Amino acid sequence: MEELLEHIRRTYGGLADRIQAGFVERPVTLRINTLKTSVDEVLFAFAREGIAYERVPWFSDALIVHCPQEIIENTPLYQEGHFYLQSLSSMLPPLVLSPSPGESILDMTAAPGGKTTELYCLSGGKAQITACERDKYRFERLKFNLGRQGATRVYAMCRDAAMLDDFLKFDKILLDAPCTGSGTVTSTDIRFTEVFLAKCVHMQEKLLKKALKLLKKGGTLVYSTCSVLKEENELLLERTLPREAHIEQIVPPEGIPLLPSREGTLTVCPDKLYEGFFVARIRL
């Protein structure tokens, strides 16, 4: 933990205390699967069960639930895939990618599938989504979640995304990259080292270069991590993006706690509701 805090202090100076104060447990949050149910139906069921909730101003499908996770997981609505437990920050990248019916979309590092199923849902189940995941065990989780959420038209493949054939081309790509997880810390029991950070950056660079090859000219790539470290975020983009790619302005949804971030990108500051997260939208 001390090595991470030291790194954060070097990068963010006086803001480091605010970041550290956000390393806390957060309430359960979820995204309603509007392909299987409606927001009103879920609200009605929660009111009937006495489950207290709050709405999220920037996303009508999201709820903050004041109830232990085990209780939520035992509800028939959860087990039938009427909602998906997902952190609020991690709902941002699919919203920023903004999928439309008919578009070909690659979710490069997809398991366990929160963002894949959100993309599917946002497109009304009408985008052609390919979800890629390298890890066999996590791939099984992805397939399970796709099934439970009814994302039947997603094509899932267990592959190293860095090895995908450049012949493939997509209108939109989500690269929710494997990272140090520095934005999701909730206890002092974390393994962060500078060597681990360097390994993550190496992997992120490889995947980002591949994403740029797989994106159609004029296509959109969303790059995200659950990290607040600039090496995994802005610095990686600055070093890797070619001249013809540009970072498009993301308008931050109201009420989200932000850290200083490269022009146009979002770095969410961890706090009692939000995980630390980075999101950038790139147009080729």
Residue from the set 113, 183, 219, 276 that interacts with ligand SAM by CB under 6 A: 113
Burial class of residue 135, CB neighbours in 10 A (0-12, 13-18, 19+): middle
Member of 112, 183, 219, 276 binding ligand SAM (CB under 6 A):
112
- Candidates 90, 123, 204, 227; binder of ligand SAM (CB under 6 A) is 90
When binding is defined by CB under 6 A, the residue of 22, 81, 99, 114 that contacts ligand SAM is 114
Q: Which of 29, 33, 87, 109 binds ligand SAM (CB under 6 A)?
A: 109
Q: Which is nearer to ligand SAM, 61 or 176 (CB)?
A: 176
When the beta carbons of 51 and 201 are compared against ligand SAM, the nearer one is: 201
- Tell me, yes or no, if 226 is annotated catalytic: yes
Alpha-carbon span 199 to 205, nearest angstrom: 10
CA-CA distance, 125 to 37, in Å (whole number)? 13
CB contact burial 167-185 (16+ within 10 A = b; e otherwise): eeebbbbbbbbbbbbbbbb
Provide, rounded to whole angstroms, the least separation between the CB of residue 268 and ligand SAM: 15
**Residue closest to ligand SAM (Cβ):** 109
176 or 232, CB closer to ligand SAM?
176
Q: Which of residues 207-246 bind ligand SAM (CB under 6 A)?
A: 207
CB of 269 to ligand SAM, least distance (A): 19
68-100 core/surface letters (b: 16 or more CB in 10 A; e: else): eeeebeebebbeebbbbebbbbbbbbbbbbebe
Element (H, E) at 107: strand 104-107
In the complex, the smallest distance separating the C-beta of residue 131 from ligand SAM, rounded to whole angstroms, is: 9
φ/ψ of 29, rounded to 5, equals: -130, 155
Contacts of 52 (CB under 8 A, 6+ apart): 46, 65, 66, 67
Cβ–Cβ < 8 Å for 272, 22: yes
Binding mask 134-173 for ligand SAM (x = CB under 6 A): xx--x---------------------xxx-----------
**Which residues carry out catalysis?**
226
User: Applying CB under 6 A, which residues contact ligand SAM?
Assistant: 90, 109-115, 132-135, 138, 160-162, 176, 178, 203, 207
